[in-house]
């Protein structure tokens, strides 16, 4: 009888794929407050502040230190009891930069503090951290894998044991609903959630219902991956290629508001492009740019 694969082994396979994609793989307990290489002062710390400050310094050399510190305060500030409102506010900072003001040549100047370098992918620090313990309101939780960019937890991956018939991709999705209630601070910064049973894998956002958690079916954007390839491998290699992930964050995440006609309440939905939408839009943009270049070169 063949040996059944364990959840821990699924986690290690996922981390190996992420290492291939040039993520720095780190064991969460090592960077815990009491770990061998502490990177957090408290288990309540969600952002790796030292790494984020280093990135801000690298990407914003012309911004005064006071303005950069003000940007940090904006990032860490919680302005609403509504998780989705806070998430939308932070997403805008990620995609558009953090608005700051400072005095220059005797005048108040408006500027942007950038958290990511969207132009030079290799300048960013990509980390895959497993078993990252978070304590919030005396509740202790440990998501399987969190992907950090420049110290910011952008992606949470929840894995279930493929050998356990009760531990499905759907049960991983349900785990996220529990996490959002128990450790909401993590999801203020989140862009994408991934639920997987080690074979099947689907991605969504903090507002996605189960039907909106979708597979990513291509690695290169040209052909669909073979059906014999585990979907978790296809999703990780296709969606979390570092270039694709930054592109998704900057250009392919939208928030939509719908007002209930009866109650008058406003619901905010966060959506990330499906694989076919992402690649179709980029192909259309590339074709337009090439056409414009041909027209431009033909004028002279």
CB atoms within 10 A of CB 195: 27
Question: pLDDT of 4-28, one tens digit each?
Answer: 567 788 899 999 999 999 999 999 9
Residue 9 confidence (pLDDT): 87
Region of 79 (left: φ > 0; alpha: ψ -120 to 50; beta: rest) is alpha
Residue 152 confidence (pLDDT): 98
Question: pLDDT of 214-251, one tens digit each?
Answer: 999 999 999 999 999 999 999 999 999 999 999 999 99
DSSP secondary structure letter of residue 211: G
Question: pLDDT of 95-134, one tens digit each?
Answer: 999 999 999 888 999 999 999 999 999 999 999 999 999 9
Average pLDDT over residues 148-173: 90
Q: Is residue 2 one of the residues assigned to a domain? A: no
Q: Provide the token pair at 289.
A: 């740019």
Average pLDDT over residues 248-261: 90
Question: pLDDT of 57-92, one tens digit each?
Answer: 999 999 999 999 999 999 999 999 999 999 999 999
> Is pLDDT at 175 greater than 90 in this prediction?
yes
Q: Which residue range(s) make up the domain with 227?
A: 7-59+118-251
Of 148, 153, 155, whose CA–CA distance to 127 is shortest? Answer: 148
Q: Strand pairing of 145-149 and 152-159?
A: antiparallel
Q: Is residue 244 one of the residues assigned to a domain? A: yes
What mean pLDDT is reported for the chain? Answer: 92
Name the strand (E) or helix (H) holding 179: helix 169-182
Q: Provide the token pair at 136.
A: 């919030």
Contact 185, 44 (CB under 8 A): yes
**CATH number (domain holding residue 215):** 3.90.1570.50
Of 221, 218, 191, whose CA–CA distance to 285 is shortest? Answer: 221
Q: Is residue 15 one of the residues assigned to a domain? A: yes
CB atoms within 10 A of CB 16: 12
Coil, strand or helix at 12: helix
pLDDT-based confidence at 1, cuts 50/70/90?
A: very low
Coil, strand or helix at 126: strand
> Is pLDDT at 289 greater than 90 in this prediction?
no
Coil, strand or helix at 138: coil
Output 98 or 258, whichever has higher pLDDT.
Answer: 98
Q: Tabulate helix, strand, coil % of the chain (nearest 5).
A: 40, 25, 35
Q: Is residue 79 one of the residues assigned to a domain? A: no
Q: Is residue 218 one of the residues assigned to a domain? A: yes
Q: Is residue 262 one of the residues assigned to a domain? A: no
Residue 44 CA, chain-centre distance (Å), reads 19
Q: Is residue 94 one of the residues assigned to a domain? A: no
> Is pLDDT at 293 greater than 80 in this prediction?
no
Of 243, 242, 244, whose CA–CA distance to 22 is shortest? Answer: 242
Q: Is residue 19 one of the residues assigned to a domain? A: yes
> How far is residue 188's CA from residue 70's CA, in Å, rounded to a whole number?
19
Residues with Cβ within 8 Å of residue 249, at least 6 apart in sequence: 91, 94, 95, 116, 154, 191
Residue linked to tokens 């995609």 = 95
Q: Provide the token pair at 153.
A: 């937890």
DSSP secondary structure letter of residue 296: H
Number of domains in the chain: 1
> What does the buried/exposed string (b/e) look like for 36-60 if buried means 16 or more CB atoms within 10 Å of the residue's CB?
eeebbeebeebbbbebbbebbeebb
């Amino acid at each position: 009888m063949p040996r059944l694969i364990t959840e821990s082994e699924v986690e290690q396979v996922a981390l190996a794929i992420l290492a291939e994609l040039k993520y720095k793989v780190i064991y969460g307990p090592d960077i815990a407050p009491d770990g061998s290489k502490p990177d957090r002062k408290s288990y309540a710390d969600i952002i790796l502040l030292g790494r984020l400050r280093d990135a801000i310094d690298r990407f914003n050399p012309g911004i005064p230190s006071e303005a950069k510190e003000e940007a940090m305060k904006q990032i860490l500030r919680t302005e609403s009891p509504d998780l989705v409102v806070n998430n939308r506010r932070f997403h805008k900072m990620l995609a558009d930069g953090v608005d700051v003001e400072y005095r220059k040549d005797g005048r108040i100047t408006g500027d942007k503090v950038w958290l990511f370098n969207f132009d030079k992918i290799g300048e960013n620090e990509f980390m895959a951290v497993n078993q990252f313990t978070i304590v919030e309101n005396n509740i202790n939780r440990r998501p399987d894998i969190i992907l950090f960019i420049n110290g910011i937890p952008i992606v949470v991956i929840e894995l279930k044991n493929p050998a356990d018939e009760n531990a499905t991709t759907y049960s991983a999705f349900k785990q996220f609903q529990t996490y959002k209630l128990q450790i909401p601070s993590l999801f203020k910064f989140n862009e994408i959630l991934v639920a997987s049973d080690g074979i099947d894998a689907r991605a969504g956002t903090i507002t996605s219902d189960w039907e909106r958690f979708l597979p990513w079916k291509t690695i290169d954007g040209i052909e669909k991956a073979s059906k014999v390839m585990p979907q978790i491998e296809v999703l990780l290699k296709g969606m979390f290629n570092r270039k694709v992930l930054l592109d998704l964050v900057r250009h392919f995440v939208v928030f939509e508001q719908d007002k209930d006609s009866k109650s008058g309440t406003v619901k905010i939905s966060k959506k990330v492009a499906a694989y076919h939408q992402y690649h179709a839009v980029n192909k259309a943009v590339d074709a337009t740019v090439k056409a414009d270049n041909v027209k431009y070169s033909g004028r002279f």
